[in-house]
Structure 1
């Protein structure tokens, strides 16, 4: 019997309906009746992985039983930590660095390292950062102004800037993230998005990180519309602070990267300095301006989103979010906040008689 006929016979026996899956009972009987020597701990991991699927089929998602199998079989594995791996290429060493930078648990690091695929690449954070740089360069060349761009009257006329007088143009609650006060703010946000956002996207995927980033951006503009009703808003700080606060809060205890304490201090100093500068520009602008300067409340709103919602997203690495009660509680809370903010923007400005500056 040739090879193709043998493969076809095996497929007919194991997968007669040609679904591409093997049932759990069939798989378990195969691994227990095989003649090849397998480590008992690894065998338990395979069985636990198969049993972890709700549909009774093999799956790449981990389950609690798979976690327990790995935890119980750690001593039987050839190496206890990824740092013992030798002979790795440059890219695999970078993947190992990302695992130790982003994931606080050794079991998660091993899983990510061996399951990592280069496709799809982390395109979201790179695309957002590139768009922000292009927009900044276009306005900088057009206005011939590279610092404190918001002091130029033409800059605030951009259809991307959030302005309280243009609240009906709903896209501005998100598109303001592409505009920046000046080179300093852009450089700070771009650096953090690439240093923290890209590794986070490599580990947790584009859907989770894009949702966390955009949730911080939207929460930032809506919070400004509630707490600082006269102020416009520019910059992606809401999304950046959501990523940074979620990363630091979730991974601080387990981070194994070099100079952890120094990096934490530098990050906090940079973030505090950026917030302080935003507060100074909002209330004590160094130059005369035609209206209020951009608000700083988006920074705080993004940090709150990161600490609350981000922790659930990042702690649930490679696990289903919809099966966790905490995820639905946070999603309901965020949805309630969005609904309240929408009604606030529709009715509160007129009811309170807010004196907003005329839109540019």
Structure 2
């Protein structure tokens, strides 16, 4: 019997009066009598749902969500209320797991603060689709860096080469009309140290986040940080060009760190305090390096060096929009009022930035460097 037939049978036999509630014991007997295979983890959650109800019943819609592997906000609240009925053991006690399942368990404890969420993710995780977005972005950045390194014969501080800024990928204030540059600058980097820092964080933090929250949410968050970074530079540092994927990287990192801080007691990742300190030190050092290169370049340069404001803009996007995304694991963002407020705020910023780039440079008489 398929899933739709099972749901129809449940509604006909267990809820003939269409009350919207089903007794869990009756449902369990139906499953066994028809020899219907059901994931043991889902049966545990079903018991938890029943324990969350005073009469030992389960809402029909919550049962549909459970069998269909979907979780609404009401479903998550019901699970939380009945969580005491779940088995006491945790995922760390699972034995006999293969290498990949151990990695999935590691990701669950690295990203999710709630044991119920971790169990749900562990049992529902599928290898398809794989986390291809962050891997593809990182690989593209490495290939672009190698191509320009070989072409310019320069691997450190590539931006000091006179031909570097002629790339069609770099954001330059003199080429604001070429709108693609507000995104494609993320594939270019100042030098080997910036590329290494961004690639490491994208793989260590971005890939696990994408595995848990999916390609759509993480790619949206990353690209929102990248776009906010370039538009912020065009407003606050009008003479500076921009390279590097730091806006997207800082959006991911700040969202993850903020999620860890706000759910500190529930996080079970090892050495979380030490790792938090190291992450903050590394991120602060990267910002400091960018500020130093912007205002006190170690070598003579033909024009202003890339701005550091993209780092700060990405962090703001991560703490606001990103934190909302990470706290809504397997829940619909469209049903949350806060999400629409953040989306409206971000859209307002984009609209303001577009008009700024069209009119403000001429009105303010900004002395921008000539485009290469």
TM-score normalised according to structure 1 size: 0.86
State the alpha-carbon separation in 2 of the partners of residues 219 and 7 from structure 1: 46
Deviations 1:290-324 (A, max 9, x none): 00000000000000000000011010000000000
Deviations 1:163-219 (A, max 9, x none): 000000000000000000000000000000000000000000000000000000000
Mark the CA change 1:53 to 1:244 in structure 2 (over 3 Å): closer, same or farther: farther
State the alpha-carbon separation in 1 of the partners of residues 339 and 218 from structure 2: 15
Mark the CA change 1:225 to 1:9 in structure 2 (over 3 Å): closer, same or farther: closer
Mark the CA change 1:159 to 1:86 in structure 2 (over 3 Å): closer, same or farther: same
Name which of structure 1's ranges 293-302 and 41-50 shifts more when overlaid on structure 2: 41-50
Map residues 83-122 of structure 1 onto 2, 5 A cutoff.
83-122=92-131
State the alpha-carbon separation in 2 of the partners of residues 18 and 253 from structure 1: 42
Report the alpha carbon displacement of residue 289 of structure 1 after superposing the two structures with TM: 0.5
State the alpha-carbon separation in 1 of the partners of residues 81 and 320 from structure 2: 31
State the alpha-carbon separation in 1 of the partners of residues 127 and 54 from structure 2: 28
Report the alpha carbon displacement of residue 2 of structure 1 after superposing the two structures with TM: 17
Report the alpha carbon displacement of residue 50 of structure 1 after superposing the two structures with TM: 12
Report the alpha carbon displacement of residue 34 of structure 1 after superposing the two structures with TM: 7.1
Deviations 1:196-252 (A, max 9, x none): 000000000000000000000000000000000000000000000000000010154
Contact 2:48 2:83 in 1 (8 A): no
Mark the runs of 5 or more structure 2 residues left unpaired by the alignment.
59-67
Report the alpha carbon displacement of residue 80 of structure 1 after superposing the two structures with TM: 3.4
State the alpha-carbon separation in 2 of the partners of residues 7 and 325 from structure 1: 31
Name which of structure 1's ranges 40-49 and 133-142 shifts more when overlaid on structure 2: 40-49
Report the alpha carbon displacement of residue 69 of structure 1 after superposing the two structures with TM: 4.0
Name which of structure 1's ranges 96-105 and 51-60 shifts more when overlaid on structure 2: 51-60
SS at match of 1:75: helix
Mark the runs of 5 or more structure 1 residues left unpaired by the alignment.
none
SS at match of 2:333: coil
SS at match of 2:82: helix
Corresponding residue for 1:12?
Answer: 12
1:72 aligned onto 2:119: no
Report the alpha carbon displacement of residue 42 of structure 1 after superposing the two structures with TM: 6.2
SS at match of 1:289: coil
State the alpha-carbon separation in 1 of the partners of residues 278 and 157 from structure 2: 24
Mark the CA change 1:91 to 1:17 in structure 2 (over 3 Å): closer, same or farther: farther
Name which of structure 1's ranges 178-187 and 54-63 shifts more when overlaid on structure 2: 54-63
Mark the CA change 1:319 to 1:36 in structure 2 (over 3 Å): closer, same or farther: closer
Contact 1:42 1:73 in 2 (8 A): no
* Number of equivalences: 360
TM-score normalised according to structure 2 size: 0.84
State the alpha-carbon separation in 1 of the partners of residues 7 and 123 from structure 2: 27
Corresponding residue for 2:167?
Answer: 158
Report the alpha carbon displacement of residue 357 of structure 1 after superposing the two structures with TM: 0.2
